[in-house]
Amino acid sequence: MTRPNRLHPPLKTRFALLVACAAAAVLLAHCEGGGAPVFVQEPLPYPQDALAPYISAETMRLHHGIHYAGYVEKANRLAKGVRIAGSAPEDLIRAAAGEPGRRALFNNASQAWNHAFFFKCLKPKGGGAPEGPLAERINASFGSFARFKNAFLSAAEDHFGSGWVWLVQDGEKLVVMATADADTPIAHGLAPLLAVDIWEHAYYLDYQNRRADYVRSVLDNLVNWDFVAGQIQETQKSGGAP
């Protein structure tokens, strides 16, 4: 009488798991897990108190150390085991944007990306009007820097609820847009150049409900126009793709 092979049940179980993994749709889950995290919490490019008095050290501690850190942790946890065509965070965000079942992943991944971008858009003793080719691009798209500033402030004031205000490149033009909650221009094929976070955690300790005053302070005193100009150059190198 032939004795049963005791290895068969584990092999069948492993085969079933492999089949289940292979059947995943746009975002393909692999079974092994592990590997390097997709998102890394980037350090601030300046000390926590460097943006005071316009943004306080306490706001930066909470914003960068708790809110941003939380999005990075959740995005990596939700992305664990997820494999897509491409390894960049932007690839993950674009893939998750079109998947209703991946909404939590999209929200946390986008927030992690948006925050990392936003902190780079700021610097001590920044703001005011840019110079050089960037100023020419703004004038060509908006008529003047003053009109750009008014459009940016209006987008922040008119936006209902939490979100972001952006300067983006759309084809040959620069455009101001607002996105709700975690939404990001890269999910819409647009190249972000400048972001200002208008979630309350970004400003409420310093400005309470005066969102427009906060955004005006950023534009007047904190925008890192060198970084913004660099994003235009990167966009030109990549042929306009974000």
> Which of helix, strand or coil describes residue 211?
helix
Residue 163 resides in a domain: yes
Residue 62 resides in a domain: no
Tokens encoding 187: 């999910």
- CATH number, domain of 142, equals 3.55.40.20
- Tens digit of each residue's pLDDT, the chain (242 residues): 433 333 333 433 333 333 333 323 333 333 234 567 899 999 999 999 999 999 999 999 999 999 999 999 999 999 987 777 667 899 999 999 988 899 999 999 999 999 999 999 999 999 999 999 999 999 999 999 999 999 999 999 999 999 999 999 999 999 999 999 999 999 999 999 999 999 999 999 999 999 999 999 999 999 999 999 999 998 887 766 55
Residue 206 resides in a domain: yes
Residue 224 resides in a domain: yes
pTM of structure: 0.84
Residue 110 resides in a domain: no
Query: What is the number of other CB atoms lying within 10 angstroms of the CB of residue 148?
Result: 22
Residue 201 resides in a domain: yes
CB 176 within 8 A of CB 166: yes
CB 193 within 8 A of CB 168: yes
| Phi, then psi, of 149 in degrees rounded to 5 | -60, -45
Instruction: Domain count for the chain, please give it.
Output: 1
Residue 3 resides in a domain: no
Q: Which domain holds residue 216?
A: 132-237
Residue 230 resides in a domain: yes
